[in-house]
A and B are shown apart, each in its own frame.
Chain A
Amino acid sequence: MTDRLENMALVMPGLLLLGLAFILPVLQMLVLSVSGPDGFTLEHFTRFLSDSYYLGILWRTVRLSALITLITALIGFPLAYIMAKSGPRLRLWLTLIVILPLMTSVVIRTFGWIVLLGRSGMIPSMLRDLGLVGRSFSIIQTESAIVIGMVQVLLPFMTLSVLGVVMSIDGRLEEAARTMGCSFMKTIRTVVLPLSLPGIVAGGLLVFTLSASSFVTPSLLGGSRIQVLAGSIYNAVTQTLEWEFAAAQAVILFVGVALVLVPYLSVAGRRNG
């Protein structure tokens, strides 16, 4: 019985912190999103869902997040596969290359992209000098800039998620497939890819969630005209000071994330038993 007491004492601070400083704030936000001057109201939600400006923001957020997820998967899977098949030394270096940006502040990485993609930045100047684009060409403050920056920010998450799964695939399966007449590409397609799918799906959900909820990179690279949902929340909190409206938008984001994550978590949880 005292063993249980000891364990409860060890886990209690964590649970208390979580209950008071995590669950309670989220609940507070949920409550505020339906509060008006006269008590319960859904006006903040109807305001968002009936205004084509906000619906456009929502659609852009979903569209960009999907595109970013797709691109990170297209780069992340081959990257993780090559990492898994490299020798331990090379793999360590590649891991470092993936983790270093991951552990660098998003603000700093976005700053780097501002320099590279800016009006007189290196990449647009190069493209102009090569004559590939016109004089007035610009990347910054377009959706392309957001996608480029976000892919770089989120690629490590996808790569590490896929890497974990690819590393656990028994290499003999590929050898077996080759002895049964599969070409290299066919082996990737029929053996490696299906077995990596759990990692790709998990990474994809993570990337989608993070990209739908980030505002630092989109607002710095996209500017004020190309607004995404999280940026709109940030504006409502800091510029217009409409906290209830911000809470309502956060709830909409929350519901969207839950719609994506909950089915996955319950399936994955059941599979892990």
Chain B
Amino acid sequence: MVSGTPIWARYFAVIFIVCTALFLLAPLFVVMGVSVSESQFISFPPQGFTLHWYEKVLSSDAYVSAAWTSLWIALTVTIAASLIGGAAAIALNRRSLPASGLMSAALLSPLVLPTIIYAIGMLLLWSAIFGPISPLALAIGHTVIALPYVVRTCLAVLADTDPFLEEAARTMGAGRLQRLAFVVLPQIKPGLLAGGFFAFNISFDEAVLSLFLRKPGLTTLPVQIYGQLEFSPDPSVAAVSTMMIGLTIVLLIIIDRTLGLGKIASV
């Protein structure tokens, strides 16, 4: 705080931070609490402690197959978005392309358009051309949504590098592929890693597109959870949610290690 901050403002800040943190984290804590409750019904605060609901999730075909579907799609999306977005960011960072401003605006545009509009468009187009929805349709859709995040983190990382590295490498005899492999790739790596984990997280947690592009047998975890919530769920839905929260925390730690959380906040 700037010196000379009045004492009441300091107290207010502390109380405000505590309340806001509680508000932001409350739903997550509640879900975690419900997941270990002995009660047959969803209730909070939890009664007793049991890991029964986790067992139930792990032995449930519906949840396990949804988890596999989510995982495969998320991995595909991670690889596709990292490759496509990283390559585009390298080219855009060089600023030598005509209309590179327009191109980067285009690559970032899925951020601005509400997902529901895109989802309905994707459903209509895919049905018109290919007929029934397939996992590929969902993977492509998620890649489009995740792409801007990869492009943005990679561009932010590249913007911090010395713009003369590639030229210096040329004067030292590095050819086109050598420059990409030995100069550009090592520079963009943290952005690519962080962007890739973002892409995984986005695809794994995404609900809107997955709800539009679903058919029997193609259910991702968020869709499965949504379906349970529409009826009267038992605490196993909390157990699976808690596992997903845990995965998110792991991803956050990895992203912090590769790029730094402070950096993400400003991307």
- Least CB distance from B23 to A in Å reads 6
- Least CB distance from A251 to B in Å reads 8
Is the C-beta of A127 less than 8 angstroms from some C-beta in chain B? Answer: no
> Which residues of the other chain, A, contact B206 by a CB distance below 8 angstroms?
105
Pair A22/B110 contact, Cβ less than 8 Å: yes
Pair A8/B117 contact, Cβ less than 8 Å: no
> Which residues of the other chain, B, contact A96 by a CB distance below 8 angstroms?
252, 261
Docked complex Cα distance between A167 and B266 (Å): 9
> Which residues of the other chain, A, contact B118 by a CB distance below 8 angstroms?
22, 25-26
B81-120 CB mask vs A (1 if < 8 Å, else 0) is: 0011101101110101100000100110110111111101
Chain A residue with minimal CB distance to B151?
A: A14
Pair A108/B120 contact, Cβ less than 8 Å: no
Pair A79/B17 contact, Cβ less than 8 Å: yes
Which interface residue of A18, A103, A155, A209 has the most chain B CB atoms within 10 A?
A103
Pair B114/A95 contact, Cβ less than 8 Å: no
- A108's partner among B4, B20, B128, B244 (CB-CB below 8 A) is B244
Pair B114/A210 contact, Cβ less than 8 Å: yes
Pair A99/B17 contact, Cβ less than 8 Å: no
Pair B2/A92 contact, Cβ less than 8 Å: no
Chain A residue with minimal CB distance to B211?
A: A234
- B125's partner among A14, A28, A184 (CB-CB below 8 A) is A28
Interface size on B, residues (CB 8 A): 91
Q: How large is the interface on A (under 10, 10 to 19, 20 to 34, 35 or more residues)?
A: 35 or more
Is the C-beta of B208 less than 8 angstroms from some C-beta in chain A? Answer: yes
- Least CB distance from B214 to A in Å reads 9
* A:5-41 near B, CB below 8 Å: 6-8, 10-11, 13-15, 17-18, 21-22, 24-29, 32
Docked complex Cα distance between A94 and B20 (Å): 10
B206-241 CB mask vs A (1 if < 8 Å, else 0) is: 111001100000000110011001100000011001
Pair B207/A107 contact, Cβ less than 8 Å: yes
- B207's partner among A97, A105, A246 (CB-CB below 8 A) is A105
B115-136 CB mask vs A (1 if < 8 Å, else 0) is: 1111011111110100000000
Pair B6/A184 contact, Cβ less than 8 Å: yes
* A:66-92 near B, CB below 8 Å: 75, 78-79, 82, 85-86, 88, 91-92
What are 12 residue pairs bridging A and B, where the CB atoms are less than 8 Å apart in the complex?
Answer: A11-B87, A25-B118, A78-B16, A86-B1, A95-B265, A100-B249, A101-B24, A101-B28, A115-B30, A174-B2, A215-B208, A238-B211
Residues of chain B touching chain A, judged by Cβ–Cβ distance below 8 Å, are 1-2, 4-6, 9, 13, 16-17, 20-21, 23-31, 34, 42-45, 83-85, 87-88, 90-92, 94, 96-97, 103, 106-107, 109-110, 112-118, 120-126, 128, 140-141, 143-144, 147, 151, 176, 201, 204-208, 211-212, 221-222, 225-226, 229-230, 237-238, 241, 244-245, 248-249, 251-252, 261-262, 264-266
Q: A14-B85, A215-B208 are in contact. List 6 more A-B contacts (CB 8 A).
A: A7-B94, A10-B90, A96-B261, A108-B28, A115-B31, A178-B4
